Amino acid sequence: IESGGWLLVQFAPAVSPSERLALLADFGAIADSYVPHNAWLARVPAGAVESLTREAGVTWVGRFHPAFKLSPLLGAPLPGQALVSSSAPDPWRLDLRLAGDADVNALRTKLESLGVRVTDANVPVMRVEANDTAAVVLLAALDEVLFIGETVEARTLNNSSRGICQGGTPGVESVHGKGVRGATQTVAVRDTGIDTRHCCFDGGGKIVDNR
């Protein structure tokens, strides 16, 4: 780990979240994300590793091994299967979570040299297709890649609930059929919070009060 790069830095429980981030910044490290328990994934300069390790609030510093980047579900839909299954899909359709400072154009060139096809070049998630498990292992070794999971295409899973709740049968919306659609009604909910950007609530006037 003396050469720096992406490392896992664990702190004493007494060190507050803000103090952890400030401490990393003091050593020139770039914090990426929290890792249980009491640790951060951070890019640490080579010259700062030894001093950071000796810091009183730091309990452990270790390498962010490429194997940590592979989703446990990658090629292994059933519990107990290998991390990368021998019956791999052809091709692998993968989502790569990138480091925030990744150069997308340079990474695309690098991936093409590895035989990996980029289907959607974005930050923080780039979508690619890899021909075999060997290519997946090479992807995990890239410094710009922080996590690899299989691409999951969005599909509707709960589009029949209205009919089931209203009439006991999908598509039979008996309550809506009687003209009852919630207009002019105010509903009170006691909960821990609300996502005001959610499609159910982001329309004008939908939220009367939120505290």
Q: State residue 79's pLDDT score.
A: 43
The DSSP output letter for 78 is: S
Task: Look up the pTM and report it.
Answer: 0.68
Q: State residue 77's pLDDT score.
A: 54
Rounded CA-CA distance 157/54 in Å is 51
Q: State residue 94's pLDDT score.
A: 94
Q: State residue 89's pLDDT score.
A: 62
Rounded CA-CA distance 194/207 in Å is 10
Rounded CA-CA distance 140/98 in Å is 11
pLDDT along the chain (211 residues), means of 10: 89 92 94 92 91 93 93 66 52 91 91 91 89 90 93 79 87 89 83 81 79 81
15's tokens: 């060190």
What SS3 class is residue 14? coil
What SS3 class is residue 150? strand
3-state per-residue secondary structure call for 48-96: HHHHHHHCCCEEEEEECCHHHHECCCCCCCCCCCCCCCCCCCCCEEEEE
Q: State residue 196's pLDDT score.
A: 79
